[in-house]
Amino acid sequence: MPRDFTQFITFLVINLRNWLNRIWENQNWETEESVSALLLLLLLFLVLGASIAMPRCRMDKEEGEKHLGLLKLMQILSFLVVFVAGVVIGLATTSHVSRYFTSQAELYSFINHFSVPTTHVEENCTDSNICERKDCSSFLMFIHPDNLTHAMSDDELFWRASMVSKRENYYPFKRVPKVAFMFLTRGPLPMLPLWERFFAGHDNLFSIYVHALPGYELNVSTSSVFYRRQIPSQRVSWGTVSLADAERRLLANALLDFSNERFVLLSESCIPVYNFQTVYEYLTNSAHSFVESYDEPTRYGRGRYSRQMLPDIKLQHWRKGSQWFELSRALAIYIVADTKYYTLFKKFCKPACYPDEHYIPTYLNMFHGSLNSNRTVTWVDWSMGGPHPAMYGPANITESFIESIRNNGTECLYNSEITSVCYLFARKFAPSTLEPLLNLTSSVMKF
């Protein structure tokens, strides 16, 4: 190393120039060695600058003026070194990021992994076309979630389900409308084999959702259409707002599948009285939803109204109807998104008000009456009187009985035209009726 201080500075400047020339010629900005060497050189310059800036007791006036010029030179060089170091570090960092993330989609996925909590979804990619791109499966899971398990609260679920694309009737994928069959049950589904026969051969035209008591798990084979179709549930009590909560919970989960266009609510004692193709075409081709909504001027109707709902819900708005509804996607979104009127029902529609019989009929009557047929497609026998409809056993299951439900002499409007096909489903059927019903599926119900 040179003994004279000026020669030493000259030595460093020459070496710095040569080093930068080599880096520039080789375009070797990515190596950790280059960054480390530059930082070390920067540190050396800062130390030298600090040593020069320190006053020296033995320095005479002439030497002070000499070193003052060197100090200014060092300040300029230090600024240049810091600037070059910043450029090199920036280039090296950029190259390392691009080395790990080869596309914007991968970079977004990496950031999203740490910033947004996600639900674990098991992916089973068997089609090479579906899994050709890494982010393709994520999009498919978004529009057609096949795993219903999630940790969302009701408020989070309803908010998520109520989001609607502003690009009306536009989907960036081939959309085949599906019917969502939503089963509200306490536990087992005794008619499950009948429904499996009903659904057979129509895999891409329907979705199934089951709301059972918390902790209950359906015991079905992995090949069943009911396998893994239970949604996160909460306890339900008859005659309370918890029933309406469960209905909205089913709707919200079904809305997460963007292909679901129609939504029908069923119980464990419901059966289909027509084959799948007839039911599918009837619902998907309808311009109206099927929610019974009528004015009942007795204590069982208007008598359940509470004046505490004023001024938002007036007595003339109040309606009653069957719990077993069928809705279009548009109306299902409106119901799930509603917080104002549903909150009033939760507060003031208490026993014996029965929110499940009044909330949806009243809400649709107030805002979307023109989109509703004001009738149900689920046949129920109330001729026995009392708070519950008739329950049918094996002795009642005959061809003539099923035919009487299918063609019971009732006429109704379908797309503004008169029809005799008014009911697609029926209830209540005891578990013991399964076997005789299975014997009639091919001859009467045509499936």
| pLDDT tens per residue, range 280-297 | 999 999 999 999 999 999
Do 302 and 251 share a structural domain?
yes
Co-location of 144 and 68 in the same domain: no
Question: How sure is the predictor about 110, in pLDDT bands with cuts at 50, 70 and 90?
Answer: very low
Structure tokens at 447: 């499936």
What are phi and psi for residue 273, nearest 5 degrees?
A: -110, 0
Q: Is the pLDDT of residue 135 over 80?
A: no
Please say if the pLDDT value at position 424 is more than 50: yes
pLDDT of residue 169: 74
The answer to whether residue 330 sits within a structural domain is yes
Residues 314 and 178 in one domain: yes
Who's near 302: CB < 8 A, 6+ residues apart?
295, 296, 315, 318
pLDDT of residue 143: 77
User: What pLDDT does 377 receive?
Assistant: 98
Tell which phi-psi region holds residue 348, choosing left (phi > 0), alpha (psi between -120 and 50) or beta. Answer: alpha
Residue 436 has pLDDT above 70, yes or no: yes
Residues 369 and 305 in one domain: yes
Kindly tell me if the per-residue pLDDT of 426 is higher than 50: yes
Q: Is 138 within 8 Å of 118 (Cβ atoms)?
A: no
Statement to judge: residues 341 and 206 lie in one domain = yes
One domain, residues 205 and 330: yes
- CA distance readout (Å), 160 to 152, 172, 234, 251, 399: 9, 19, 19, 12, 45
Same domain, yes or no, for 100 and 181? no
Average pLDDT, integer, range 39-43: 55
Three-state DSSP class for residue 190 = coil
Of 328, 350, 375, the position where a domain reaches its end is 375
Both 100 and 152 in a single domain? no
Q: Give the residue from 313, 347, 375 where a domain finishes.
A: 375
Q: Say if residue 401's pLDDT is above 80.
A: yes
Is the domain of 186 the same as that of 308?
A: yes
Residues 12 and 144 in one domain: no
In a domain, 38, yes or no: yes
Task: Kindly report whether the global pTM for this prediction surpasses the value 0.85.
Answer: no
Number of domains in the chain: 2
Cα of 269 vs its chain's centroid, Å: 29
Residues 6+ apart with CB under 8 A from 384: 390
Cis peptide before 428 (omega within 30 of 0): yes
Are residue 226 and residue 320 in the same domain, yes or no? yes
pLDDT of residue 97: 43
Claim to verify: residue 182 and residue 327 sit in the same structural domain = yes
The answer to whether residue 410 sits within a structural domain is: no
Residues 6+ apart with CB under 8 A from 25: none
144-203 pLDDT per residue, tens: 787 898 999 999 999 999 987 767 677 888 889 999 999 999 999 999 999 999 999 999
Domain boundary among 55, 88, 104: 104
Identity of residue 405: I
Instruction: Look up residue 359 and give its two tokens.
Output: 């909330």
Instruction: Give 300's Cβ-side CA count (13 Å radius).
Output: 6
Q: Tokens standing for 7?
A: 């020669």
Residue 388 lies in a domain: no
- Write down the residue that tokens 């419901």 correspond to: 270
Looking at every residue in the chain, the average pLDDT score rounds to: 81
More confident residue, 384 or 338: 338
Least confident of 50-54, 305-309, 317-321: 50-54
What CATH number is given to the structural domain containing 338? 3.90.550
The parent domain of residue 217 ranges over: 140-165+173-375
Residue 381 lies in a domain: no
| 63 domain-assigned | yes
In a domain, 346, yes or no: yes
Q: Is residue 58 part of a domain?
A: yes
Of 413, 125, 392, 112, residue with least CA distance to 273: 392
